[in-house]
């Protein structure tokens, strides 16, 4: 575990840059992380996905898989990849400040 | 008046639960009814062996009704829907079947049609699955005639039944083509949406090592967007392409279709929201669920269903007798992983403890996370126990529902999977 600084505030992240404590996340941090990943600006559709992922995480204890996102977020999987090219689950989850979705075992 | 227990699904979970409950109660206390849409009870672990000619379809199928004790009613018809408000199941011919307690044991179904192109041209000719009997049988013929080229084994997305089965398929394919004398003409590729060979770190490393040892290429974080069975390629949502001459695809899984026709019963994927410890559904106190049909964060595997069955039965009894539920399932799973050449690994884990090295069920026992001939024999012998012990609802002597800790080596960040210097958990 290490520390990263987003929007001027230090936060705990794991080796892959995922938030360890989603409560530390703010919307300003998401904007900064997205910009560093080449997404600028975050559109309403990006926010729709980010907000949905955080809600799922706090409701269920883990972020949604790609398939669940496609079925329930209101954005199709193809669109999700256009919004977050490195993969919605991995890239969107990091920007949304939640741990990497587990995928069931 | 006797209580009416209705069990949807006569597979592993439905059958063993019906038999356990039947044995517990006096025959005038409860009326148990099992409903299933077809009469073939398939020993699903056997599907892995069919493509390699190691099992014949007839070897792994028995009549469903015959696995239930006399005195349990059995109806062979599809479920149309469940009316949660009215405590009623409506079956395909329109008959209404009221219940006091409902147990959902209808497992999961394959939905290959949800992946673009998968069931189009090439399906069952160039693209196959071994996750059902027709698929496994067709694949046996294709592998028998395969003379060389690229074989891609692909998991579309989780959850799937028996998450180790696609890895076992790779290991057995390596053995199969070695025996045939054409291993040098066959490329084996394993494409998974996970970021490693498996979800749990220690087992993932061991299995990754085995794939490498057997010359199977590992493609990770591959989310299949489309399968082109004419051109012979998987296309990932991220644009990556994996070409193949023959693809063995594990399709997406969902809960049974009637769940979607039953308002309030299931989640987006038709799995039933279920308490992971008590196995009571979150839908209604008199509805319980077991096995692949639930959304609990355990593997969708027969061993999980078996261990759940013990807890579920106890809690259904408590519910009927008006006591508080207290039996607790810990997520225990136990899987043999066939690795080819007459050997297998064994993994044993639960919600909290990942698969570790050591021995099972105690310090003197079968080796964990290590290839051995003994584990392979265990896997083969299990089929006998399935029909004669597990389905009738008998316990395995010395192996309870809860995961044994004795014999397992504790994980720590400095340990390597094969370190001999590990402490036992207990």
pLDDT in tens, B25-55: 998 999 999 999 999 999 999 999 999 999 9
CB atoms within 10 A of CB A37: 14
Amino acid B179: pLDDT: 97
**What single DSSP character describes residue B410?**
P
pLDDT (average), residues B74-93: 98
The predicted-structure confidence for B372-412, as pLDDT tens digits, reads as follows: 999 999 999 999 999 999 999 988 777 888 999 888 988 75
A72 and B163: CB-CB below 8 Å? Answer: no
Report chain A residues whose CB lies below 8 A from the CB of B252.
Answer: 67
A60 touches chain B (CB under 8 A): no
Distance from A29 to chain B by nearest Cα, in Å?
A: 25
B69 and B148 belong to one structural domain: no
B130/B199: higher pLDDT: B130
CB contact under 8 A, B299 and A105: yes
Using 50, 70 and 90 to split pLDDT, how confident is the model at A70?
confident
ipTM surpasses 0.85 = no
Name which of B221, B268, B269 is nearest A87 (Cβ-Cβ): B221
Choosing from B320, B347, B363, the residue where a domain stops is: B320
Reply yes or no on whether the pLDDT at B420 is more than 80.
Answer: no
| Chain A residues within 8 A of B225 when measuring between CB atoms | 77-78, 81
Q: Chain A: nearest CA to B53, how far in angstroms?
A: 28
- pLDDT for position B400: 80
Q: Which residue has the higher pLDDT, A86 or B176?
A: B176
Distance from CA of B329 to the nearest CA of A (A): 17
Q: What is the mean pLDDT of residues A30-48?
A: 94
What is the pLDDT at residue A89?
A: 74
Handedness of CA B312, B350, B294, B70 (dihedral sign): negative
Q: Chains A and B: how many Cβ contacts under 8 Å? A: 50
Partner residue opposite A102 with nearest CB, options B199, B223, B237: B199
- Nearest by CB: B193 against A68, A86, A103: A103
Hey, which residues of A are catalytic here? Answer: 104
CA pair distance B54, B17, nearest whole angstrom: 30
Same domain, B211 and B144: yes
Per 3-state DSSP, what percentage of chain B is helix, strand, and coil (rounded to 5)?
30, 30, 45
Q: What is the mean pLDDT of residues B188-194?
A: 95
- Within this chain, do residues B118 and B246 fall inside the same structural domain, yes or no? yes
Q: Which residue of A has its CA nearest to B222?
A: A87
Are the CB atoms for B414 and B37 separated by under 8 Å? no
What is the CA B290 to chain-centroid distance, rounded?
A: 12
How close A105 comes to chain B (CA, Å)? 5
Q: Quick check: A78 contacting B, CB < 8 Å?
A: yes
* Co-location of B165 and B222 in the same domain: yes
B106 and B124 together in one domain: no
Q: What is the pLDDT of residue A68?
A: 84
Q: How much is the average pLDDT of B135-153? A: 98
Tell me whether residue B421 is in a domain: yes
B426 pLDDT band, cuts 50/70/90, is very low
> Which is the CATH superfamily of the domain at A2-95?
DsrC protein, C-terminal domain (1.10.10.370)
pLDDT over 90 at A1, yes or no? no
What's the number of domains chain B is made of?
A: 3
Q: What are phi and psi of B225, to 5 degrees?
A: -100, -30
Best mutation target among B155, B253, B268 (most A Cβ atoms within 10 Å) is B268
Same domain, B231 and B360: no
**pLDDT on residue A103:** 58
Residue B418: per-residue pLDDT: 42
- DSSP string of B293-320, one letter each residue: GB--SS-BSHHHHHHHHHHHHHHHHHHH
Question: Is residue B341 situated within a structural domain?
Answer: yes
User: Cβ separation of B238 and A78 shorter than 8 Å?
Assistant: no
The answer to whether A72 contacts B223, with C-beta atoms less than 8 Å apart, is no
The pLDDT, as a whole number, for residue B413 is 42
Which of A67, A85, A86 is facing B157, going by the closest CB pair? A67
Mean pLDDT to the nearest integer, B102-106:
98
Q: Is a pLDDT exceeding 80 seen at residue B415?
A: no
CB pair distance less than 8 Å for B298 and A78 = no
Per-residue confidence at A104, pLDDT binned at 50, 70, 90?
very low
Alpha carbon distance B114, B105 (integer Å) = 23
Q: Do A87 and B200 touch (CB under 8 A)?
A: no
Note whether A105 contacts B193, CB cutoff 8 Å: no
The rounded distance, in Å, linking the Cα atoms of B52 and B55 is 8
pLDDT value, residue A71: 87
Q: Is B157's CB within 8 Å of A66's CB?
A: yes
Does B247 share its domain with B116?
yes
Which of chain A's residues have a Cβ under 8 Å away from the Cβ of B297?
102, 104-105
The answer to whether residues B361 and B315 belong to one domain is no
For the residues A50-77, what does the mean pLDDT come to?
A: 88
Contacts of B194 in chain A (CB under 8 A): 103
Could you say which of B251, B281, B311 is where a domain stops?
A: B251
Task: Judge whether A3 is closer than 8 Å to chain B, CB to CB.
Answer: no
Domain shared by B304 and B409, yes or no: no
Tell me how far apart the alpha carbons of residues B337 and B303 are, in angstroms, rounded to a whole number: 13
- Taking the Cβ of residue A79 and every Cβ of chain B, the question of whether any pair is shorter than 8 Å is answered with no
Share of chain B above pLDDT 70, in %: 96
Q: With an 8 Å Cβ cutoff, is A55 touching chain B? A: no
The residue segments making up the domain with residue B373 are: 332-426
Closest CA to B147 of B202, B195, B184, B103: B184
Q: Do B299 and A78 touch (CB under 8 A)?
A: no
Sign of CA dihedral B60, B63, B68, B70: negative
Of B226, B251, B276, which one is at a domain's C-terminal end? B251
Mean pLDDT, all residues of chain B: 93
pLDDT at residue A54 tops 60: yes
Distance between CA atoms of residues B166 and B154, nearest Å: 8
Q: Do A66 and B268 touch (CB under 8 A)?
A: no
Alpha-carbon distance of B278 to B134, in angstroms, equals 36
Task: Give me the mean pLDDT over the B319-339 stretch.
Answer: 94
**B287-308 mean pLDDT:** 95
Chain B residues with at least one Cβ partner in A under 8 Å: 157-159, 163, 193-194, 199-200, 221, 223, 225, 237-238, 252, 268-269, 297-299
- Are residues B338 and B304 part of one domain? no
CA distance B195 to chain A (A): 10
Q: Are residues B292 and B311 in the same domain?
A: yes
Distance from CA of A39 to the nearest CA of B (A): 16
B327 is a domain residue: no
Domain boundaries, chain A: 2-95
Q: Give the confidence band of B337 by pLDDT, cuts at 50, 70, 90.
A: very high
Q: What is the pLDDT of residue B269?
A: 94
Q: What percent of chain A has pLDDT over 90?
A: 58
What pLDDT does B281 receive?
A: 98
pLDDT of B145 over the 70 cut: yes
Contact yes or no for B238 and A85 at CB 8 A: yes
* Cα(B361)–Cα(B305) distance, integer angstroms: 18
Asked if pLDDT for residue B172 goes beyond 50, the answer is yes
Q: Is residue B326 part of a domain?
A: no
Distance from CA of A8 to the nearest CA of B (A): 31
A103 touches chain B (CB under 8 A): yes
Q: How does pLDDT run across B201-213, given as a tens digit for each residue? A: 899 999 999 999 9
Same domain, B90 and B136: no
Predicted structure pTM score? 0.92
Give the domain CATH number at B102: 3.50.50.60
């Amino acid at each position: 575990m290490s520390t990263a600084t987003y929007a001027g505030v230090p936060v705990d992240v794991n080796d892959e840059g995922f938030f360890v404590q989603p409560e530390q996340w703010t919307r300003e941090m998401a904007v900064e992380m997205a910009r560093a990943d080449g997404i600028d600006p975050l559109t309403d559709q990006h926010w729709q996905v980010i907000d949905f992922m955080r809600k799922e995480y706090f409701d269920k204890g883990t972020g949604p898989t790609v398939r669940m996102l496609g079925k329930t977020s209101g954005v199709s999987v193809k669109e999700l990849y256009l919004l977050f090219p490195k993969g919605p689950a991995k890239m969107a989850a990091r920007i949304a400040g939640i741990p990497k979705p587990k995928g069931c075992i | 008046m006797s209580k009416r227990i209705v069990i949807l699904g006569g597979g592993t979970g439905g059958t063993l639960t019906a038999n356990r409950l039947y044995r517990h109660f006096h025959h005038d206390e409860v009326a148990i009814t099992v409903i299933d849409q077809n009469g073939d009870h398939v020993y699903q672990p056997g599907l892995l062996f069919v493509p390699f000619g190691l099992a014949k379809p007839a070897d792994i199928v028995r009549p469903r009704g015959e696995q239930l004790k006399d005195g349990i009613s059995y109806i062979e018809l599809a479920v149309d829907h469940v009316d949660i408000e009215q405590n009623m199941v409506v079956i395909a011919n329109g008959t209404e079947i009221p219940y006091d307690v409902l147990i959902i044991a209808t497992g999961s179904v394959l939905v290959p049609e949800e992946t673009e192109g998968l069931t189009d041209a090439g399906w069952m000719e160039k693209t196959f699955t071994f996750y059902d009997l027709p698929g496994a049988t067709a694949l046996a013929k294709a592998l028998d005639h395969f003379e060389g080229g690229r074989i891609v084994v692909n998991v579309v997305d989780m959850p799937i039944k028996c998450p180790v089965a696609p890895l076992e398929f790779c290991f057995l394919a390596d053995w199969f083509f070695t025996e045939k004398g054409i291993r040098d003409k066959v490329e084996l590729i394993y494409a998974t949406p996970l970021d490693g060979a498996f979800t749990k770190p220690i087992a993932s490393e061991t299995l990754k090592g085995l794939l490498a040892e057997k010359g199977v290429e590992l493609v990770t974080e591959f989310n299949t967007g489309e399968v082109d069975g004419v051109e012979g390629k998987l296309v990932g949502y991220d644009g990556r392409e994996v070409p193949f001459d023959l693809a063995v695809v594990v399709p997406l899984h969902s809960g049974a279709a009637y769940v979607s026709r039953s308002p309030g019963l299931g989640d987006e994927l038709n799995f039933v929201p279920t308490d992971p410890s008590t196995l009571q559904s979150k839908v209604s106190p008199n509805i319980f669920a077991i096995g692949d049909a639930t959304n609990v964060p355990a593997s969708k595997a027969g061993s999980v269903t078996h261990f759940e069955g013990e807890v579920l039965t106890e809690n259904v009894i408590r519910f009927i007798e008006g006591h508080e539920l207290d039996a607790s399932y810990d997520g225990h799973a136990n899987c043999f992983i066939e690795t080819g050449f007459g050997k297998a690994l064994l993994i044993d884990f639960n919600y909290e403890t990942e698969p570790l090295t050591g021995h099972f069920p105690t310090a003197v026992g079968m080796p964990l996370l290590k290839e051995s001939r003994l584990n392979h024999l265990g896997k083969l012998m299990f089929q006998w126990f399935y029909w004669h012990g597990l389905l009738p609802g008998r316990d395995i002597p010395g192996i309870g529902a809860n995961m044994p800790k004795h014999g397992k080596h504790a994980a720590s960040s400095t340990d390597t999977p094969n370190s001999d210097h590990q402490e036992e958990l207990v």
